[in-house]
Structure 1
Amino acid sequence: MTSYWKRNQLRLAPWLFLAPGAAMFLVYVIIPIFQSLSLSFYDWDGLGDATYIGTANYVELLDDEAFYTSLKNNVIWLALYLLAVPAGLFIAIFLNQTVRGIRIYKSLFFFPFVISQVVVGLMFSWFYAPNFGLFYKLIEWLTGDGIAILADEKYVTYGIIVAGLWPQIAYVMILYITGLNNIAPDQVEAARLDGAKGWKMLWHVILPQLRPATFIAVVVTVIGALRSFDLVSIMTDGGPWGSSRVLSFYMYEQALSEYGFRMGYGAAIAVVLFAIMMVFISGFIWKMWRDETER
């Protein structure tokens, strides 16, 4: 056994280090995914016996108006949340400069990342609050009539998304600052000697070296947009009249809140949400792999 270990130490050692993490990933991620998929074919209240009903939960989803509202809001979340990627990139480029007071700027932009989503939700709830909120007062001063963002069906989703973008941009910024610190200086210097600057430098020299950071930024932003539960729960609880629901919040309402205890139906919503997430992430992974193989 000792001689086998000595002969294969370099090959086996990485797997031994990966084994604890891989085991936890299997137990807490992979197995629950398949359990949710299985549960979506049952009618179960979480306590009694589960009754197999086939695809009835998915058929019910097709006629569920609340499901379509949640799905539409998730699409809006996804489209607008991806603005965090270019915004985080440009802030990171600004903070990567050596100018006076840059540490203060870095602290200000980093601050949203370290505070809880609960705190973010409460802050923006006060920011939007009718009669005394800063945003309400500003709109009232500009137009003569304030807007109660979180009480208006037309604007509530956009108001919550703005709240979510604040810490998300900070997170993406951190990823890009790390990537900028790893850029090869010789390539930048060679590009400068060739006359590249501004947008040409960014597009042809900087961004290609930031592909790993961009991949992580897009993946975490897509996941963040599709699992946007906490801010919705804190700021509106799905209201007004369910207009700010997203799929993760609707899943919670159906499976775990006093309105539902329909575990199977909630699992069906979770499966749909997981499928949407995998389509976007798999598509981006495929594009990244294709770009790398064509280089």
Structure 2
Amino acid sequence: MTAPALSDTPPTSKSWWKKNQQRLAPWLFLAPGIFMFAVYVIIPIFQSISLSFYAWDGLGTKEWVGAANYVELMDDDAFYTSLKNNVLWLVLYMLAIPAGLFVALFLNQTVRGIRIYKSLFFFPFVISQVVVGLVFAWFYDPTNGLMNIILGWFGAGPIAVLADEDYVTYGIIAAGLWPQTAYCMILYLTGLNAVDPEQIEAARLDNAKGAKLLWYVILPQLRPATFIAVVVTVIGALRSFDLISIMTDGGPWGSSRVLAFYMYEQAFSEYGFRMGYGAAIAVVLFLIMMIYITGFLWKMYRDETGR
């Protein structure tokens, strides 16, 4: 009996997919999200930049005007009012971050009834911004509003917050801080659950407590939560629109406008559907947002690397 002849054919090599499956699988899962992000975020950004160099009413033929829209912005008093209000929003909205942190520290306890307190502080985050605007509009009402009733107890006269150019922006920002603080609180509560208890115990053995314990032990471990809170708060401050629309509609006399609301007025309201001019305002708002967030990212990078 003769032994079977050995085949000279080499073993079949693995297919291209088999060899690259692990490397390609993550990109396949990410592909739908990347596609949606490109279609609804990246492409519209470039379309807005392009549109800002045209005069267009949204229906007719676009007319190339170059940088005329941006030149007009430089002489537009309403634009500067909106820009000033956006800066106020950006600065004062940051109060939501420390406020959310301290509320989270208060709620991060194991005491009786703490779940009820958490629900009460969480409530502003789940209600609509429209509801928040209506609630605060009633709260500020100079006739029957709770704020003016309380002021009356102390002999102070009623203050028409939403009808006074000096107070209106601060009143709307206060309304926006209510749900934004709740959002930051949620982020910090999640972060506190990941804080290493051994580091806290070691710090207490070294006689660290109170502010020192918070600054040197807890806050460094909350950097991821702080990063998300800052980015979301900056975006929330710069895109503020709904509260202004509900509470004042930009008034009185345009004194509570911000860039997002002014962009809407120019592009879609009685100003004549100036899409190109509205796009120029949107580009300015986008640049402010990118500069602010890039600066914060650079600072965080330097803190992390020690450079």
TM over 0.5: yes
Aligned equivalent of 2:78, options 53, 66, 72: 66
**TM-score scaled by length of structure 1:** 0.97
Report the RMSD for the aligned CA atoms in angstroms. Answer: 1.3
* Gap runs ≥5 in structure 2: 1-12
Q: How far apart, in 2, do the equivalents of 1:38 and 1:203 lie?
A: 46
Deviation at 1:78, TM superposition (A): 0.7
Name the larger-Rg structure: 2
Is the 1:253–1:260 contact (alpha carbons within 8 Å) kept by the matching residues of 2? no
Aligned equivalent of 1:215, options 208, 211, 227: 227
Moved over 4 A (4+): none
Q: Deviations over 1:56-90 (max 9, x none)?
A: 00000000000000000001111100000000001
Counterpart for residue 203 of structure 2: 191
Aligned equivalent of 1:114, options 121, 126, 144: 126
Instruction: Write the letter of the residue equivalent to 1:259.
Output: Y
Structure 1 counterpart SS, 2:97: helix
**TM-score scaled by length of structure 2:** 0.94
1:1-295 mapped onto 2 (5 Å cutoff):
3-294=15-306
More helix as a share of residues: 1
Residue-pair matches, total: 295
Q: How far apart, in 2, do the equivalents of 1:136 and 1:115 lie?
A: 24
Q: Deviations over 1:103-134 (max 9, x none)?
A: 11101100000000000000001111121111
* Gap runs ≥5 in structure 1: none
Identity, in percent, stands at: 78
Q: How far apart, in 2, do the equivalents of 1:55 and 1:138 lie?
A: 52
Q: How far apart, in 2, do the equivalents of 1:27 and 1:130 lie?
A: 46
Structure 1 counterpart SS, 2:271: coil
Deviation at 1:148, TM superposition (A): 0.7
